Amino acid sequence: MLESVLTWLQPHLESLLSPATWWQVVVMALAATAASLFNRRIQTLLETKTSINQQGFRHIAVRSLQRLLWPLIALAVVLPAKAVLDWYDIPLQLLSVAVPILWALALIRFSVYLLRKAFTINPLLKSSESALASLVWLGVVLHLLGWLPAVLAFLDTLALNLGEHRISVLSVLKLMLLVGLAFTIAIWLSELISRQLQRSANISPSMRVGFNKFSKFILLTLAFLIALNAVGINLSSLAIFGGALGVGLGFGLQRIASNFISGFILVLDRSIKPGDVITVGDKFGWVEALNARYVVVRNREGVDTLIPNENLITSEVINWSYADRNVRVVIPVQISYDDDPEQAMALMLECAKASSRILTEPAPSVRLMEFADSGIELQLRAWISDPENGTGGVKSEVNLAIWRAFKEHKITIPYPQRDLHIKSMPAHLL
């Protein structure tokens, strides 16, 4: 590459030191200075006029303009100066290269931004917008200067041989670029499939998750294999890698593979789906998401618990909404033996209306369960359809209503009591 640079410089050395060249350098310096100053001020003005949460065409237009400001302002200085210098028949070698470079910078920045907006689901592309634009722009600059073939040839010389394979820096860069591009397209396609599945009313939530996982896995695998084949890597050589992967799965990756496969099992047998209310051990909550390795369960305090998929396969899971979302709430109450149980049962049935969450169908009911040691045990049984909100609020409202009704109708809730029968006592205590 150094030799090509010297070869390019030698015939142009005299022209580079001429007054015409210095005029062009002055123009480019003025363009860079003006672009930096005006870009900063206009960027500040646009930031004050644009809301962070604003969306739509106006938001995209403003953000696109922010990325185009610097090259456009520089072009606004370079193009008139180029026309003036051309009027006086001054050679324009530098400006003839600078103009397409600035146009390329503007086009690349605009294209990469639109690409990022189209791939909003891809955080990698979203976070590396500047790096991607700089990389593409560097390639365009090298191409315009005629240095790109020399640079590629130099990168290809930096290589080492591993058996029958030759690995160069150029091949590694190509592989990284192709893998990144293929993965980006694969993720975009999988999210497109996911959005289409979400719009379908004929597919259950669990099947949507299953299709989404399966499509993403297949697309990413195909993207990786296509990228390897495009670089020239023989796919048959992956057999060794597959054997090593099998050994790894047998040892360190066994739990990861188990969780991954368990995730597919959960989706296919439909035992757990997003929105279900479950209890795993002492963890209670509703399923927020089914991921490849774990399930996200959120409790009533708003805390998310990540439960490995394997745990849901190998341990006991209570699914409160497996068949339907109706859950029965049982509220036990004791009354004194001196009170009328039928009156108390009628009052308890009326108190079931105290909570708006209790369903009218199935209708609440009251049962006399047993004659206990301290009193008559009654049970109010009612149904709710939102188990994710818990049963504590319902029990509190109904218990408070029962307390008020019993106080009003003089029904006693007995204390624990025992009858003590004394068969004999010492004479001096009589």
Q: Is the peptide bond before 91 cis (omega within 30 degrees of 0)?
A: no
Q: At what angle do helices 129-145 and 93-118 cross, to 10 degrees?
A: 150
Residue 1 pLDDT level (bands cut at 50, 70, 90): very low
d(CA 69, CA 66): 5
Tell me what percent of the residues of the chain surpass a pLDDT of 90: 12
Look at residue 7 in the predicted model and tell me its pLDDT: 60
* Tokens coding 6: 């010297």
> Looking at residues 414-427, what average pLDDT do you find?
75
Neighbouring residues of 115: CB distance < 8 A, sequence distance ≥ 6: 125
For CA atoms 105, 109, 110, 115, the dihedral sign is positive
Q: Which residue has the tokens 């670089």?
A: 231
Q: How, if at all, do strands 165-168 and 277-280 pair?
A: unpaired
d(CA 430, CA 428): 6
Residue 153: pLDDT above 70?
yes
Length of the chain: 430
SS3 of the chain: the string is CHHHHHHHHHHHHHHHCCHHHHHHHHHHHHHHHHHHHHHHHHHHHHHHHCCCCCCCHHHHHHHHHHHHHHHHHHHHHHHHHHHHHHHCCCCCHHHHHHHHHHHHHHHHHHHHHHHHHHCCCCHHHHHCHHHHHHHHHHHHHHHHHCCHHHHHHHHHHCEEEECCEEEEHHHHHHHHHHHHHHHHHHHHHHHHHHHHHHHCCCCCHHHHHHHHHHHHHHHHHHHHHHHHHHHCCCHHHHHHHHHHHHHHHHCCCHHHHHHHHHHHHHHHHCCCCCCCEEEECCEEEEEEEECCCEEEEECCCCCEEEEEHHHHHHCCEEECCCCCCCEEEEEEEEECCCCCHHHHHHHHHHHHHHCCCECCCCCCEEEEEEECCCCEEEEEEEEECCHHHCCHHHHHHHHHHHHHHHHHCCCCCCCCCCCCCCCCCCHHHC
Between 355 and 59, whose confidence is greater?
355
For the chain, where do the domains classified as CATH 2.30.30.60 start and end? 268-319
Residue 314: pLDDT above 60?
yes
Architecture of the domain made up of 268-319: Roll (2.30)
Instruction: Fold for 327-408, please state it.
Output: Alpha-Beta Plaits (3.30.70)
Tell me what percent of the residues of the chain surpass a pLDDT of 70: 70
> Looking at residues 152-171, what average pLDDT do you find?
72
Look at residue 332 in the predicted model and tell me its pLDDT: 93
* Tokens coding 67: 């990325």
What does the mean pLDDT of the chain come to? 75
Is residue 185 within 8 A of residue 223, CB to CB? The reply is yes
For the chain, where do the domains classified as CATH 1.10.287 start and end? 170-262
Look at residue 84 in the predicted model and tell me its pLDDT: 78
> Looking at residues 219-232, what average pLDDT do you find?
74
Look at residue 388 in the predicted model and tell me its pLDDT: 76
Residue 235: pLDDT above 70?
no
Is residue 273 within 8 A of residue 204, CB to CB? The reply is yes
Look at residue 430 in the predicted model and tell me its pLDDT: 59
Residue 133: pLDDT above 70?
no
Residue 121: pLDDT above 50?
no
For the chain, where do the domains classified as CATH 3.30.70.100 start and end? 327-408
> Looking at residues 371-376, what average pLDDT do you find?
87
For residue 138, how far is the Cα from the chain centroid?
A: 32
Q: Which residue has the tokens 């368990």?
A: 262
- When mean pLDDT is compared across 28-32, 58-62, 399-403, the lowest value belongs to 58-62
Among the four given CATH numbers 1.10.287, 3.30.43, 1.10.3470, 1.25.10, the one describing domain 170-262: 1.10.287
- When mean pLDDT is compared across 36-45, 196-205, 244-253, the lowest value belongs to 244-253
